[in-house]
Amino acid sequence: MLCVIVPLCALFTITQQVTPRDRCVCELANSEQPFPHDKLSIVEDNASKCNNKITSQKTLELESLMLGLERRLPQLQEDVSMLEKEDDGELYGVLSLHVIENEMKDIQVLIDRLNSTTLGHQRITTETAELLEDLKAEMEELEKFDTMHVVKRQQANLRLTRDLDTCRNGLHPTIQPTEPQHGNCPHGLFGNVTGPRVYTAGEYPGSYKYGAWGRDPKPEAGMESWYWLVMLTSSNKYSHYVRLYSSLSSLIVGVSVPGNIQIHSSNPTTNTIQGPNVVLYAGALYYNCYNLDAVCRFNLTTKTVTTLQLPKGTRYNSKGNFCHLEECYLFTDLDLATDESGVWVIYTTTQDFGNLVLSKVEDGEPPTLGQTWRTSVYKQGVTNTFMICGVLYATRYVSSEVEEIFYSFDTATGKEKFNLGIFIKKMSSNIESLNYSPVDHMLHAYCDSYMVSYKVLFE
């Protein structure tokens, strides 16, 4: 019987024996040491543990606390100088002292949280640095087994490919497309968003999946730094109050001084908030009224509600929702939005075959429906919309980590674009509400009970 042996280069020395019973036995003597697979898998495990320890969530926590402090300190300074002005030689204003005492308490809470976060980070950094040193040494040890220099050559190839790319790009610099400046937008054309700037679970971590939050673009005097929050507390569909916070840091640490401003003690009932896409503008909350194809305006000062009837055929009661392939967002028939010019409502109607319709909400007693624009984008293929400088933007779901701002409609020119390609890095799968705040150029998103914001970048 013939035995065919493939010569394995110099790696193996092979002896061949023929046993008396016509059997062929090959003896393989490997001149190399066996590859330590177990060691590699330990290194792999340690590396992935290392990755899990340092999440973007941890750095964000620090960032949002810092941002909170950054906003809080000038406020304190202002209040102290106010107090100094009140000094009539002997007595300070009791009221201002009280305000400052509360401010100090809030700041103390922030500093304590910052301290524990920082200490935690220091610990992680030291541990991780040690781990990385160990891993590096271990990998260098393992590299000795690469006798054929496969890894080394791969690395060299990678370097060469990179060099080639740089070379090519150097020869043909990318030509920037020239975009006509949008006349209505003083800051320029909306071009991109940053990564998350604020990311917080707020006062009720994980309690309410649907909601909205943000800032009033036209606040009443003395409420310039206030934030509002609406959570759909009843079956992810309805809410009956707005919760106010006197600053971003109060919202993050969960201290609401004015507390709730209630529309009605029952929920749901007439004038209940239905659906998450609500906005606060000029001291009034605009939202989809309970069981109606209408916009409600709740005046936070007078606690009265006025309604604005939408055209016949408007889809409501969860019949014209925002959706992606996996699910639709309940009761998102009406999306209220704010921009530099005021309040807008985005919805769809039967006669528009489910395409997005956009109307300006004109202020007044009662508010009225202004000019209306019809688009050619199907609402169920969109996950949310917002307005910047009179331009409507729509998002779609790409993956649980990424949402894409893909569409725009310019109300000044009627021009539509379907290929914007601006990506939002999500902190959880779903964005239940999304709105632009013209006061600080932030996009405020409510994502599966988290409050997240992104800075808008203009070109």
Ligand X SMILES: *[C@@H]1O[C@H](CO)[C@@H](O)[C@H](O)[C@H]1NC(C)=O
Residues that bind ligand X (CB under 6 A): 42-43, 46, 115, 119, 134-135, 138, 192, 282-284, 299, 301-302, 421-422
Nearest approach, Cβ of 282 to ligand X (angstroms)? 4
Element (H, E) at 377: strand 368-378
Cα-flanking dihedrals φ and ψ of residue 334, to 5°? -110, 130
Nearest approach, Cβ of 135 to ligand X (angstroms)? 5
- Which residues fall within 8 angstroms of residue 8, CB to CB, at 6 or more apart? 14
Among 316, 277, 198, 309, CA closest to 435 = 277
Nearest approach, Cβ of 215 to ligand X (angstroms)? 15
Tell me the three state secondary structure of residue 249.
Answer: helix
CB of 73 or CB of 83, closer to ligand X? 73
Contact 228, 214 (CB under 8 A): yes
Nearest approach, Cβ of 337 to ligand X (angstroms)? 16
CB of 282 or CB of 439, closer to ligand X? 282
Distance CA 379, CA 29 (A): 69
The token duo for 2 is: 């013939």
CB of 31 or CB of 174, closer to ligand X? 174
Among 398, 400, 385, CA closest to 355 = 385
CB of 216 or CB of 333, closer to ligand X? 216
CB of 43 or CB of 392, closer to ligand X? 43
Nearest approach, Cβ of 142 to ligand X (angstroms)? 9
CB of 330 or CB of 394, closer to ligand X? 394
Q: 25 - beta bridge partners?
A: 17
CB of 107 or CB of 292, closer to ligand X? 107
Distance CA 232, CA 381 (A): 24
Nearest approach, Cβ of 231 to ligand X (angstroms)? 22
CB of 5 or CB of 119, closer to ligand X? 119
Nearest approach, Cβ of 255 to ligand X (angstroms)? 19
Tell me the three state secondary structure of residue 433.
Answer: strand
CB of 32 or CB of 130, closer to ligand X? 130
CB of 4 or CB of 221, closer to ligand X? 221
Burial 276-307, CB ≥16 within 10 A → b, else e: bbbbbbbebbbbbbbebbbbbbbebeeeebee
Nearest approach, Cβ of 43 to ligand X (angstroms)? 5
Nearest approach, Cβ of 261 to ligand X (angstroms)? 12
For every residue of 389-406, DSSP letters joined together read TTEEEEEEE-SSSEEEEE
CB of 357 or CB of 427, closer to ligand X? 427
Contact 348, 310 (CB under 8 A): no
Answer left, alpha or beta for residue 430, where phi above 0 means left and psi between -120 and 50 means alpha.
Answer: beta
Nearest approach, Cβ of 111 to ligand X (angstroms)? 6
Strands 273-274, 279-281: pairing kind: unpaired
Long-range pairs for 186-191: beta carbons < 8 A, 24 or more residues apart: 187/389, 187/441, 187/458, 188/458, 188/459, 189/458, 189/459, 190/388, 190/389, 190/391, 190/393, 190/456, 190/457, 190/458, 190/459, 191/422, 191/457, 191/458, 191/459
Among 308, 306, 288, CA closest to 298 = 306
Contact 68, 113 (CB under 8 A): no
Nearest approach, Cβ of 422 to ligand X (angstroms)? 6
